[in-house]
Amino acid sequence: MDDNSIQAAVTSISAPGVHFEDTAFARDLVPCCNEVAARLAGDHPKRFGAFATLPLPDVKGALLELEYALDILQLDGVVLLASQSDGRYLGDPNFDDLVAELDRRAAVVFVHPTIPKSVEAVPIDVPAFASEFPFDTSCPILNLIWSGTVERLPNVRGIFSYAGATAPFLAWRWSLLNLHPTMLEPAAVGVMHYLGQLLYDTALSANPHALRSLLELVGPSQVVFWSDYPFAPAPLHGASVRSPASFDGFDAPKRRAIERDNALVLLPGLRAQLERA
């Protein structure tokens, strides 16, 4: 953080999460993870915030941990995996109770990919970050729109990894679903409208190819910096920090919004700590 002039960071646990087809173990593990994150933020309040981990696909356990993590530990939001160990994607009706509670709380929800269960049927031996992760990022975006979840629960502030992965490229193609009768009730306003409500991060995507596509879909106010550290090693992380400064689509105010201001709007607790600093 110091080497890259990062004043504060929000921690989160990404793939593979905490649920390894053992619900009891996940329920025991997840509060330990969240307590460590809370302790880090508490010990260094001007440097760290934290997103809570939930033990999905165990919805009952996730609701209990959500209450503990946000009300007792006072974490800044939650991180959800795009797909779960049982093969379900976000947007599946099985998760409706959890998403409704997140909406009631107007929670910040960071969605990170994992290696989906469907990969078992894909005999391609390529590292997941280059192959399955982008698709696992994109599928829940479409499923949340198609299922009507985004329409029904507009208060959840969702941040999606990797500049939305394939979503900006596929946005027009997805918009053809507006003509499908199944879309008329759950997503009547249209796919482009819902895509424009979401937020997208810059992890492994702070390059002209991804950013130009993303900015055709949303404005800079819907983009936040994300590092993917430590999965992205330090040299790559440094390049991700520097790349927005060399991208000709961002002037100084837009870069400041993406690198700082947009996140502080989402995270009032962290903003208050930095203002005290």
Nearest to 165, CA basis, from 190, 198, 201, 189: 201
Sequential DSSP letters for 148-216: THHHH-TT-EEEESGGGTTHHHHHHHHHGGGGSGGGTTTTTT-HHHHHHHSEEE-TTT-SHHHHHHHHH
pLDDT at 200: 97
Nearest to 208, CA basis, from 243, 167, 161: 243
How far is Cα 272 from Cα 264, in angstroms, rounded to an integer? 9
CA atoms within 13 A on the CB side of 265: 13
Average predicted confidence (pLDDT) for the chain: 91
Q: Residues 194, 164: contact at Cβ < 8 Å?
A: no
pTM of the model: 0.92
For 25-58, how does the pLDDT look when each residue is reduced to its tens digit (9 = 90+)?
A: 999 999 999 999 999 999 999 999 999 999 999 9
pLDDT at 27: 96
* Whole-angstrom Cα Rg for the chain: 18
pLDDT at 180: 83
Residues of the chain with pLDDT under 70: none
Domains of the chain as residue ranges with CATH: 9-276 (3.20.20.140)
Three-state DSSP at 54 gives: coil
pLDDT at 257: 95
